[in-house]
Amino acid sequence: MGSSTTSSSGGRALHLPINSLWANRKCVLTCAVVSIANMQYGLDSSCLASLQAMPGFLKVFGYPDPKLNGGYGIDRTFQQLIGSLLTLGAFLSCLLAGTFAAYLGRRPALWAACFLTALGAAIQIGTTSQGVVYLGRFVIGIGNGWLVIFSNIYCAEAAPAHLRAILVGLFTQWVTTGTIVGAVTTWATSRDLGKGSYQIPLGIQFIVPALLSVGLWFVPESPRWLVNRGRLQDARKALERLRGDSLSKEELELEWVETVKGIEEERKMAGGVTALDMFRGTNRRRTLLCFAVIIAQISSGVWFTISYSTYFFVVSGLGVEEAFRFNILKSSVGIIGVQVGMYLMRYVVGRRTILMLGGLFQGLCMLGLGITASTTVPGSPVSRSLVVTYYYYCSYTVGGLASIPMG
């Protein structure tokens, strides 16, 4: 058995054990409950991608066009804004997250996010006005942003050091699960031309806030946040709940001392540190590497497949029914890619190798898409297969692992 920290107790070395997931089952279960917040992001993104190709939705928010598959089209401005306002809301939530979390904690922040996502879904369900839909997208963007931020912060702070990458990686497990649920739901309602065709997929977005709001009652607050707020007794109890029987009393005491000591050192250093210090000395390389990984995730093109895949399939020549089925296939392949990527990262190769090889294969798939678009019939089996293959590599490399180096 290895060790991650060493101390001395009565003349003998004391180590924090690198034990199994099962030994840390209480912490794993706790993080799995909190990480369900990320399912909301996948669910909303999948529904958004499908609604743009759904005749029932377009009948209310689009316009008739017999030349298009499904008989309806969507205004480009409306199509752009329902996606970009979500992003704007998420961006603003990032700016507010630090102040909010510093004073109110992780659990209250997640409860607030649950309320905002439920409110945003309710606004969209209850209107036929494009302007009100814009408001709903903006509100749900703030809620989704907080769900992703605070759930991952909680997992990073609650997890033992040797399991941090795995537990933070639950983000992609839940996102892809939400994507599949959204794809299946929208496919099931896509044949209906009434308002229920889009109201039902929007309605299932109440599930995650409801489950998470209940689950948070059984989850302790982040021990690190409690220590930062000076609530040492509560922090010690929270740490004991998270570790369960995975540590002996001596090992638990060692982790507790290391946690308190580390936070005290951070406070001492914070007095003379500014944001510009990220770009000075050895920190500059770390900062640029983190930026590079996130930029790679954004520029990989995966967000296009997430936000517009079903609509893209329709305009490429597929029928509406076939486009929705293909969207389910794409999402299912994605979750397989996540499992492959997590296994390779833990047991076979490092993260850098996965990112490099995955990026190469993604680029080849995109090149193939460009070639087939100009040499084959739109919607051909070759181009559709390339889309699915491309999404697979996105899921198991950049999309699945970009956040883990920051964990």
Residues 294 and 191 in one domain: no
Domain boundary among 184, 200, 219: 219
CATH number (domain holding residue 114) = 1.20.1250.20
| Closest among 217, 201, 163 to 47, alpha carbons compared | 201
Residues 68 and 215 in one domain: yes
pLDDT at position 43: 92
pLDDT at position 402: 42
d(CA 96, CA 321): 41
Residues 143 and 292 in one domain: no
pLDDT at position 144: 94
Q: What is the number of domains present in the chain?
A: 2
- Burial of 19-43, coded b for 16+ CB within 10 Å and e otherwise, reads beeebbeebbebbbbbbbbbbbbbb
pLDDT at position 14: 66
332 is a domain residue? yes
4 is a domain residue? no
252 is a domain residue? no
pLDDT at position 112: 94
pLDDT at position 15: 73
Residues 298 and 210 in one domain: no
| φ, ψ of residue 20 in degrees (nearest 5) | -85, 170
pLDDT at position 283: 85
pLDDT at position 381: 60
d(CA 341, CA 391): 13
Query: What pLDDT, in 10s, does the model give residues 262-284?
Result: 888 877 776 667 778 888 888 88
Please give the full DSSP string across 171-207, using - where no structure is assigned.
HHHHHHHHHHHHHHHHHHHTT--STHHHHHHHHGGGH
Phi-psi category of residue 193: left, alpha or beta, with phi > 0 → left and psi -120 to 50 → alpha: alpha
Is there a contact between 223 and 235 (Cβ–Cβ < 8 Å)? yes
Residues 196 and 94 in one domain: yes
9 is a domain residue? no
Query: What pLDDT, in 10s, does the model give residues 4-27?
Result: 444 444 545 667 777 788 888 999
pLDDT at position 31: 94
Residues 6+ apart with CB under 8 A from 89: 137, 138, 139, 140, 141, 142, 143, 144, 145
163 is a domain residue? yes
Residues 284 and 378 in one domain: yes
374 is a domain residue? yes
Residues 281 and 163 in one domain: no
13 is a domain residue? no
Residues 197 and 299 in one domain: no
Is there a contact between 181 and 41 (Cβ–Cβ < 8 Å)? no
Where the chain has pLDDT below 70, the residues are: 1-14, 270-272, 300-302, 368-407
Residues 47 and 188 in one domain: yes
Residues 29 and 166 in one domain: yes
195 is a domain residue? yes
pLDDT at position 396: 47
Domain boundary among 219, 238, 266: 219
Half-sphere exposure of 135 (CA within 13 A, CB side): 11
Domain boundary among 180, 200, 219: 219
Domain interval for residue 322 = 277-407
pLDDT at position 344: 75
Residues 283 and 198 in one domain: no
d(CA 309, CA 306): 6
